[in-house]
Copies of this chain bind each other. A is one copy, B any other.
Amino acid sequence: TVPAVADIFSADDLAVARELREQALAGDGGYEIVADLTTRIGPRLAGSEADPRAVAWAERLLTEMGFDRVWLEPATFPTWHRNLERAQITEPVAFDMVTLALGFSPATPAGGLEGEVVMFDDLAALEAAEPAEVKGRIVFIRNRMRAARDGSGYGPAVQARSIGARVAASKGGLALMIRSIGTSSNRFAHTGTQRFDADTRALPAVAISNPDADRLERLIAMGEPVRAEIEVDAEFIEAYTSHNVIAEITGSKYPEQIVALGAHLDSWDVGTGALDDGAGIAIVTEAGRLILDLEQRPDRSIQIIYFAAEEIGLWGGRAWAEANADNFHNIQVGAESDFGAGPIYEIAARVSDQAWPVIKAIQAELAPLGIELGDRRASGGPDFIPAAPYGMAAIDLRQDGLHYFDYHHTENDTLDKINPEELAQNAAAYAVLAWLSAQSPIDFGSGETLLDEEAARAAE
């Protein structure tokens, strides 16, 4: 039988949770950590020269902070880097556009390629097009991302980026050019990966800034044929090995049981990866530091995981899930911070029926931070998606992302976009979450329990 929500945690554990919350709010949320990361390391694309510098920075930081254990875990992946990209309209008037190649775009011939531009409203329109409309042309997809607190406009719009090039290739297109998948009208292009497989590299693919897309649309509306020139130089790297960096606060009663807080250390190669995901690094590290500074160790172990190579395909998360394939009964719960630095407004969780009251009890301690109880659908964040098939229990602390996609994956993702007070609210929530999850008298159900319950629910 499940205890009443109010009785789940001991008075002592609740007192510590409240102390952690207040301490976090009085601090900077780890702002100095993300300031240091973005100043000393800057952009850190997986497999770039900055990748090992970032890993070394992280290992040193976590070691100096005094975690009980700090170690590296390898992750091997294909990667890519850009040398140059340009996109220009050549007819009926000539102009340069602000552009970025999309991840895994192949190079064009040196000097670029040139062709007529054919515009589609969205990926579905391209999918419905006759090959004759596309063949030999530069495909321009103009779909606009909708801004929303929960970021729900991203999924529909990003399809054009994820698979636009392969759809265009299948109809004989020359290259893909998309309106940036972002919510700002600032003149930055938005990069990001394409869904990776052998086909992905078939067609050069770029995003143009939203003001440039506006101008292109107006030009097309004038009715004369519009021609463009695109040049990309980029390199595909078959295999690179980077590392997840993991720091542990070892549990005093159940050291083998893990509460996993995550963020990803890599970033895109433009901007300095401040919001994505330096902020997450700061938040979970600050949460860990506060718990580390307690006079007591938690019952369970708490791990802070800096994932490698999230941006180009969740490779650090995949490696971690595979490494823990036989251990998910011990991974109590995972939660990653990877949605910028906006305040958290909701806690959602994928946990067993028995553990749902624990989430309610945790939410009661998050309520003073303005955090409400959400639903029972949670991924835990992108790097825990590869753990989903193993039935890992996952918690989402949902952040206000209304402006996240104004900056995400652009040159403009820099430290000044982070508000230390909002960062502190995040750190407070993660500290409370981690501490109470480590003290919970009830298991979260990771592994067979959760998979069995979900299978039973699906069969009903």
- A93 CB contact (under 8 Å) in B41, B214, B219, B416: B41
Q: Would A215 and B411 count as touching, CB distance under 8 A?
A: no
Asked if A186 is at the interface (CB within 8 A of a chain B CB), the reply is: yes
User: With an 8 A cutoff between CB atoms, is A352 at the interface?
Assistant: no
- A237 and B228 CA atoms in complex are apart in Å by 30
Is A218 an interface position by the 8 A CB rule? yes
Picked from B39, B95, B218, B417, the residue with its CB within 8 Å of the CB of A185 is B417
In the complex formed, the residue of B with least CB distance to A414 is B211
Interface presence of A253 (CB below 8 A): no
CB proximity to B under 8 Å, residues A394-451: 411-412, 414-417
When the two chains form their complex, are residues B93 and A42 in contact, meaning their CB atoms are under 8 A apart? yes
How many residues of A sit at the interface, in one of the four size bands?
Answer: 20 to 34
Q: Which one of B186, B215, B271, B272 lies within 8 Å of A39 (CB-CB)?
A: B215
Given the interface contacts A187-B411, A411-B187, A416-B210, does A95 sit within 8 Å of B215 by beta carbon?
no
Whether B215 contacts A272 by the Cβ 8 Å rule is yes
Q: Does A98 contact B (CB under 8 A)?
A: yes
Decide if A188 is an interface residue (CB 8 Å cutoff): yes
Bound: A388/B271 CA distance, A: 46
Q: Please give, as numbers and ranges, the residues of chain B lying within 8 Å of A412 by CB-CB distance.
A: 186-187, 211
A134 sits at the interface (CB 8 A): no
Whether the Cβ atoms of A415 and B98 lie closer than 8 Å is: no
Q: Tell whether A214 pairs with B416 under 8 Å between CB atoms, given A98-B411, A411-B98, A411-B187.
A: yes
Q: Does A38 contact B (CB under 8 A)?
A: yes
- Residues of B close to A41: CB separation below 8 A: 93
Residues of B within 8 A of A40 (CB): 93
Residues of B within 8 A of A411 (CB): 98, 187
Do B214 and A415 touch (CB < 8 A)? yes
Residue of A38, A186, A411 with most chain B CB atoms under a 10 A cut-off: A186
* Cα-based distance from A272 to B96 in the complex (angstroms): 11
B-chain residues with CB within 8 Å of residue A271 when the two chains form the complex: 187
CB of A138 within 8 Å of the partner chain: no
CB 8 Å contact bits of A162-206 with B (1 = contact, 0 = none): 000000000000000000000001111000000000000000000
Residue of B nearest to A49 (CB): B94
A25 beta carbon closer than 8 Å to chain B: no
Cβ distance A156 to chain B, nearest Cβ, rounded Å: 22
Measured CA separation A417–B416 after assembly (Å): 22
- Chain B residue with minimal CB distance to A40? B93
A187 surroundings in chain B (CB, below 8 A): 188, 271, 411-412, 414
- Cβ–Cβ < 8 Å partners of A260 in chain B: none
Decide if A344 is an interface residue (CB 8 Å cutoff).
no
> Closest CB-CB distance, A92 to chain B, in whole Å?
8
Say yes or no: is A362 at the interface (Cβ < 8 Å to chain B): no
- Distance A215 CA – B413 CA, assembled complex (angstroms): 13
Query: In the complex, what residues of B have CB within 8 A of residue A414's CB?
Result: 185, 187, 211, 214-215
- Residue A35 interfacial (CB < 8 Å): yes
A177 to B41, CA, bound (A): 22
Interface 0/1 of A132-148, CB less than 8 Å to B: 00000000000000000
Task: Tell me whether A38 and B215 are in contact in the complex, defined as CB-CB below 8 angstroms, given that A186-B186, A187-B411, A411-B187 are known contacts.
Answer: yes
Closest partner residue, chain B, to A188 (CB atom): B187
Contact bitstring A253-297, B, C-beta under 8 A = 1, else 0? 000000000000000000110000000000000000000000000
**Across the interface, which residues of B come within 8 angstroms of A188, CB to CB?**
187
Interface pair A39/B417, CB less than 8 Å apart: no
For the complex, what is the distance from the CA of A35 to the CA of B217, rounded to whole Å?
A: 12
> Which residues A88-121 have CB closer than 8 A to chain B?
93, 95, 98
Nearest B residue to A95 by beta-carbon distance?
Answer: B42
Contact with B along A12-47 (1 / 0, CB 8 A): 000000000000000000000001001111100000
Tell me the complex Cα distance, A415–B212, Å: 10
Most buried by B among A40, A187, A222, A417: A187
**Beyond known contacts A187-B271, A215-B414, A215-B415: 7 more, CB 8 A cutoff:** A35-B218, A39-B218, A39-B219, A42-B93, A186-B186, A214-B414, A215-B272
Q: Which 5 A-B pairs have the closest CB atoms?
A: A211-B414, A185-B416, A187-B412, A39-B218, A42-B95
10 contacts between A and B (CB under 8 A): A38-B215, A39-B219, A185-B414, A186-B412, A187-B188, A187-B412, A211-B272, A211-B412, A214-B415, A215-B272
